[in-house]
Amino acid sequence: MKFSFSWLKTYLECDENVNAVLDALNDLGLEVEQVIDPTEHFSNFITGKIVDVRKHPNADKLSVCSVDVGKNQHQIVCGAPNVKLGMGVVVALPGTFIPGLGKKISVGKIREVESYGMMCSEFELNLSDQHDGIICLDEPNVGKSFTEWLKINDPTRIDPIIDIAITPNRPDALGVRGIARDLSAKGLGKFLDRKSNKVLCNYQSPISVILKNNVAEKDCPYFVGRYIQGLKNGSSPEWLVNRLTSIGLRPISTLVDLTNFLTFDSARPLHAFDADKLKGDLVVRKAVNGEEIEALDGKSYKLDNTMTIIADDQGVQAVGGIIGGNSSGCTETTKNVFIESAYFDPVSTAMTGRKLGLITDARYRFERGVDPSFTIPGIEYYTELAIKLCGGKPSTLVCSGSNPYKADMINFREDRVQRVTGIKVPIKRQLEILKKLGFVCDTKKQPILVQAPSWRPDITGEIDLVEEIIRITSLDQLIATPLPEKNFGATISKQSELRQNVNKIRRYLASKGMRECISYSFINETQARLFGEGKDKVTLSNSISSEMTHLRPSLLPGLLTSSKKNQARGIHDFSSFEIGEVFTGSEPGQENIEISGIFVGCDQERNAFQNRRSYDVFDAKSVVEGTLKYLGVKLESLQLDRQVPKFFHPNKSALVRLGKFKVLGVFGELHPHIGLRMGIKKCPVIFSIFPEQIPENSGKLKKSKLSQSDYPSVVRDFAFVVDEGIEAQKIMATIKKINKDLIQEVKLFDVFEGPQAYQQVGRGKKSLAFEILIQPKDKTLEDKEIENLCNKIILEVNNVSGGVLR
Amino acid sequence: MDDLDKIKQNYLNSISTASSLDDLEQIRIKGLGKKGEVTSLMKAIGSMEESERRVKAPKLNFLKTEIIEEIEKKKLLITEENINKRISVEWLDVSRPSRPSQMGKIHPISQVTEEVVEIFSNLGFSIAEGPQIESDWYNFDALNIPPEHPARQEFDTFYVDSNPDSGSPPHVLRTHTSPVQIRHMEKENGVPCRIIVPGKVFRSDYDQTHTPMFNQLEGLAIDKDLTMSHLKWTLEEFCRAFFEVEDLELRFRSSHFPFTEPSAEVDIRCSWEDGILKLGQGESWLEILGSGMVHPKVLTACNVDSNCYQGFAFGMGIDRLAMLKYGIPDLRSFFEGDVRWLDHYGFDPLNIPSTNSGLR
């Protein structure tokens, strides 16, 4: 909502400066978004007088002037054709910023003659496009700032423009009048409400208005009209043009300009039909499906039977509360008008406006609630101005329906304001505020009975009154008061276990060199198909881009997309992870926390230490195991399962299972097909962990007892030659099982496989070397016993895997 | 006797002229080896007369000890000399880059969320969470935003495709964290409460300063006597702790949100000098959050008796807090996963926010 300071002052008798008003507006909840104060630009310019004009010795079109700027005289070279002795001018002294030129003026030499400043045109001051000559001031106030001169001689040019944001509960503040009322209640000055002058009218309108049943009840319960004959439409007077242009509206013709003026002045949208273009009476009704209107914006709109329209015998002439029709609009030649001042229901206006995709100043006001009791004063004000500016004879009013305003009586308890806000406002002051805002209070009753004014449809309960009082009093009065001691709720474990865990895992993964990413929860359709694994796809009805149509079923597409971008930026070696929600369905709650990560390229940047290597599946496996261990899962209880999702390399990946039904994670190489399709160079290694699948910790805080043996341990190495397809885990488990008491640890320390190995171990074979730690608990082992155990190991491994000692 | 002195002198001489550990070993073998000169003499002790033995044996022992000591002394000397020689030729280019470090980064949103949670948990707030796909009721109606309220248009809501036969309005991606207020309060022991809700929210808006997904923090405190003055204290405590400015000044401005009344937007005092924001001083104000007293209709929607209970709620943008506190310029870059950005604006994982050891 834009308005000028001088416009505001037509409703507010106020000596305060602009800044005081701005502070008050902010405090009131009428948030100032922008202020354009032209005086800032002009205060550096000085008014002066030309006291001498000579011809420039080296240029025909230039003059050398002496300009009196108060304290002294300056020599200024000027090329303007209108330079004259004794002329009042606007001077920019050296160092002054010239807004129209976008630079500072400095002392200069023009064709060998020194020039100390500049005499400005309107163009140079950004006042207008006029640059044929310099500004000529009638009565220069020599030595004073140009602002001072403008204040006296041309105040509209330095009228500050204020733009405020109006919250949806304040339709009354969509007019200057309502804003002034608020400021007055706050003590910024006296509210000058306009006195409505009865206009003389002595004939009946030839056009009458019929409200059809399907709108009279709710959508348009009240319609007031008036015929004015014999007008002379034309350009609006300067004051009206200034009002409109100051807030960015384009003046059209007086009859139209006045409707716009009242919209912003009194939050009262009206419509003026060219009466000669209407046929028959006006009917307010629901549109018939398929009816059309060519509106004032030059566009055609298709209407349906939920929309309230105003029609004559020829068809639809306006969409109620939103826009008028082109065919019956006023033009320069309009002589007779029919003015509409009606009340349209907020909800139905909003729905119609949304369906038509049409936002107008009228809709904006009607959908928030126009003051129904201002229907007649509004049309009277219009008439008064119209006949003053255009002449003409007004008819008596045509009234259909009745004012829908019903005043609710609200019970208001005196202690409420303090009880809710902690601020003590004397009851006398509370009542005074309400009264100034237009409320009617009946203090004879306890609690007090309060009736809200017709322009405040948002006020429905006691709490609304509290807000009004505190808004006017100012929230500056709040005194910070410590929270009382909490006497409820647990004091331990403030976060869910999952959340605590997730926070720790985040730091664990980052400490492993991975960077945490947060990607959008939206992905595109291809990604959803590739990573959705046939789960229900969750889609948006109104996505904003084809890249953001689906809610992600996995975090991996996001990580892969950013990897591709990083590769494009020349970053090839990195690892990153994300912790976030993934969606399994489109109902609330069908979402799970997932932890996913990606390893791309090499584990280190290039360096001189010769230990750089490509990331492989075991980087992912290590982090998955580390994470699960961190989350309290015993690694021995996990099984690997090669039935992985299709986006993994089928032979270089595994699911991590706990029991039959729980999948805690998955890791492996991305399927090369997908890498290719997503445009990722080198197939990354990826993993996902599903922390919500992990059984809750039993909550044991105590650690199990540590047992350390004092007897010497024995370490033996074994290398077995096995078939390539044999899993190392199988052999390790076999060895451990042989004697759980003695065999404390089995470590795989060497794998020799591939073509080089074939020569030594045979085609299709590989060698696996294990270090086995044998730790007796109650005695020192004899050589014989160790030998027996070793033989058993060799035998068992052979039984289980066919492996032979190398 | 003269013999022994002579022998001794011989050995001492050759020890002192020895130039390597090998030389020394040769000398030791010559004198003290199994067939060494001194060893042979000592072997002879056994066959000596008692009187001769009494005199000779100690002298021989003494001789042996002296030779051993001298050899050891010389050994140390030679070893040290050897080290000195080695050191003088050893040289390392210590200017070479060291092994690459392996520390990753925490995303600023995670870090700031933990900071904020830490501060509020010290004020007695616990964390509540809720779903990101939300029903129309929780996201709007229960928060006093009926279907045709103009405020609904301001949310730029994303709608989730759902079964068209269900008859109920489509679900939305939550436009704010406020629905968690409702979910919390409607629980059996929902009030009294002090909760905060950090989480992702969604609005269909994408430009320089808006992303379709961002992060909010909701706060809710309900009890019998909580007033707006408690709200002010809570937010003051939070802002001062978070921005680490002890006397940070807050300004409450009246505003309107459907789910609170009275409502206030809260600004912090700041200055902009040469484009650099300084908090806590200056003549400007920077809006950082919205807040207010929970609307009685919201309490009623949760079956909480609004005559008995009242309290406050607030909401702020976590991403914005991060940008303000750490001077991160562009919101959109938060969600792009650019390694260079993460390395620059991310946090060391060892920096765990804690009120007693520092928040950053």
The 3 state secondary structure assigned to chain B is CHHHHHHHHHHHHHHHHCCCHHHHHHHHHHHHCCCCHHHHHHHHHHHCCHHHHHHHHHHHHHHHHHHHHHHHHHHHHHHHHHHHHHHHHCCCCCCCCCCCCCCCEECHHHHHHHHHHHHHHHCCCEECCCCCEECHHHHCHHHCCCCCCHHHHCCCCCEECCCHHHCCCCCEECCCCCHHHHHHHCCCCCCCEEEEEEEEEECCCCECCECCEEEEEEEEEEECCCCHHHHHHHHHHHHHHHHCCCCCCEEEEEEEECCEEEEEEEEEEEEEECCEEEECCCCEEEEEEEEEEECHHHHHHCCCCCCCCEEEEEEEEHHHHHHHHHCCCCHHHHHCCCHHHHHHHCECCCCCCECCCECC
Q: In chain A, which segments carry CATH 3.50.40.10?
A: 209-401
In chain B, which residues have their Cβ closer than 8 Å to the Cβ of A517?
107, 337, 342
Mean pLDDT of chain A: 92
Of A169, A422, A520, Cβ closest to residue B335? A520
A682 pLDDT band, cuts 50/70/90, is: confident
pLDDT band per the 50, 70, 90 thresholds, residue A495? low
Cα radius of gyration rounded to whole Å, chain A: 42
Q: Are A580 and A518 in contact (CB under 8 A)?
A: yes
Backbone angles phi, psi at B344, to 5 degrees: -80, -45
Contact A45, A92 (CB under 8 A): yes
Residue with tokens 């306890």: A446
Q: Do A499 and B310 touch (CB under 8 A)?
A: no
Q: Which fold has domain A714-805?
A: Alpha-Beta Plaits (3.30.70)
The two structure tokens encoding residue A190: 């006296």
B-contacting residues in A 384-413 (Cβ below 8 Å):
none
pLDDT at B179 (0 to 100): 96
Please give the C-alpha separations between residue A601 and each of A508, A557, A572, B99, B101, in angstroms, as whole numbers. Answer: 21, 18, 6, 18, 16
CATH number, span B108-345: 3.30.930.10
Q: Please report residues of A whose CB lies closer than 8 A to that of B339.
A: 515, 566, 569, 571, 574, 576
Diameter over CA atoms, chain B: 130
pLDDT in tens, A2-14: 999 999 999 999 8
Given the candidates 3.30.1360.120, 3.20.20.70, 3.30.56.10, 3.40.50.300, the CATH classification of the domain at A2-37+160-191 is 3.30.56.10
Q: Which residue, A680, A687, A684, A712, is CA-closest to A616?
A: A684
* Mean pLDDT, all residues of chain B: 91
Distance CA A533, CA A556 (A): 13
Is the per-residue pLDDT at B166 higher than 90? no
Determine how many CB atoms are found less than 10 A away from the CB of residue A393: 16
* pLDDT at position A493: 46
Contact A168 B154 (CB under 8 A): yes
Q: How far is B321 from B109, CA to CA, in rounded Å?
A: 9
User: If pLDDT is split at 50, 70 and 90, which confidence band does A419 have?
Assistant: very high
Residues 6+ apart with CB under 8 A from A425: A417, A418, A469, A470, A473
* Inter-CA distances, A767 with A195, A694, A726, A728, A748, Å: 104, 36, 11, 10, 11
A489 pLDDT above the threshold of 70: no
Confidence of residue A635 (pLDDT cuts 50, 70, 90): confident
Model confidence at B62: pLDDT above 50: yes
Quick check: A770 and A718 in contact, CB under 8 A? yes
Residue A440 has pLDDT above 70, yes or no: yes
Top residue of B148, B249, B268, B295 to mutate, by most chain A CBs within 10 Å, is B148
Instruction: Give the pLDDT band (50/70/90) at residue A481.
Output: very high
Complex ipTM = 0.87
Contact B256, B290 (CB under 8 A): no
Nearest chain A CA: its distance from B10 CA (Å): 50
Tell me which residues of chain A, numbers 691 to 720, contact chain B at a CB-CB cutoff of 8 Å: none
Q: Residue B2: pLDDT above 70?
A: no
What is the strand order of the sheet A804-805 is part of? A743-752, A765-774, A714-723, A804-805
**Under an 8 A CB cutoff, do A461 and B296 touch?**
yes
Closest CA to B231 of B122, B311, B119, B124: B311
**Beta carbons of B106 and A516 less than 8 Å apart:** yes
pLDDT score at A701: 67
Q: Which residue ranges does chain A devote to CATH 3.30.56.10?
A: 2-37+160-191, 409-473
What pLDDT is recorded for position A243? 92
- Could you confirm whether domain A40-158 is CATH 2.40.50.140? yes
Q: Give me the mean pLDDT over the B185-213 stretch.
A: 92
Kindly state which CATH superfamily the domain A497-693 is placed in.
Bira Bifunctional Protein; Domain 2 (3.30.930.10)
Tell me the C-alpha distance between A272 and A259, whole Å.
7
- Supply the pLDDT for residue A689: 96
pLDDT, tens only, B294-333:
999 999 999 999 999 999 999 999 999 999 999 998 999 9
Give the nearest partner residue to B335 out of A518, A559, A583, using CB atoms: A518
Identify the three-state secondary structure at position A646.
coil
Share above pLDDT 70 across residues of chain A, in percent, rounded to a whole number: 98
pLDDT of residue A700: 64
According to DSSP, residue A158 is labeled G
Residue A572 CA to residue A261 CA, distance in Å, equals 63
Q: Please judge whether A484 and B335 are an interchain contact, meaning their C-beta atoms are less than 8 angstroms apart.
A: no
A261 in reach of chain B (CB within 8 A): no
CA distance linking residue A746 with residue A7, whole number of Å: 89
Measured between CA atoms, the residue of chain B closest to residue A480 is B233
Tell me the pLDDT tens digit for each residue of A88-104: 999 999 988 888 888 88
pLDDT at A494 over 70: no
CATH architecture of the domain formed by A409-473: 2-Layer Sandwich (3.30)
User: How confident is the model at residue A490, as a pLDDT?
Assistant: 57
* CB-based contact B293:B311 (threshold 8 Å): yes
Residues of A in contact with B106 (CB under 8 A): 506-507, 510, 516
CB contact under 8 A, B138 and A588: yes
B interface mutation test: which of A368, A475, A561 has the most B CBs within 10 A?
Answer: A475
Determine, for residues A26 and B253 on separate chains, whether the beta-carbon distance falls below 8 Å. Answer: yes
**Residue extents of the structural domains in chain B:** 2-89, 108-345
Instruction: Name the closest residue on chain A to residue B129, using Cα atoms.
Output: A496
State the smallest CA–CA distance between residue B63 and chain A in angstroms.
Answer: 44
**pLDDT, tens digit, for every residue of B261-299?**
999 999 999 998 887 888 888 888 999 999 999 999 999
Average pLDDT over residues A523-550: 89
pLDDT at B1: 47
A420 touching B (Cβ < 8 Å) = yes
Judging contacts by C-beta atoms under 8 Å, the chain A residues touching residue B102 are: 512-513, 604
Q: What is the mean pLDDT of residues A332-356?
A: 94
CATH number among 1.10.287.70, 3.50.40.10, 1.20.1420.20, 3.40.640.10, domain A209-401: 3.50.40.10
Is A370 an interface residue toward B (CB < 8 Å)?
Answer: no
**What tokens does B314 get?**
């607030």
pLDDT at B68 over 80: yes
State the average pLDDT over residues B10-31.
Answer: 92
Q: A100, A106, A107, A76: which is closest to A89 by C-alpha?
A: A76
Does the distance separating the beta carbons of B349 and A506 come in below 8 Å?
yes
Give the closest residue to A372 by CA, choosing from A225, A263, A220, A260: A220
Q: Is the pLDDT of residue A167 over 70?
A: yes
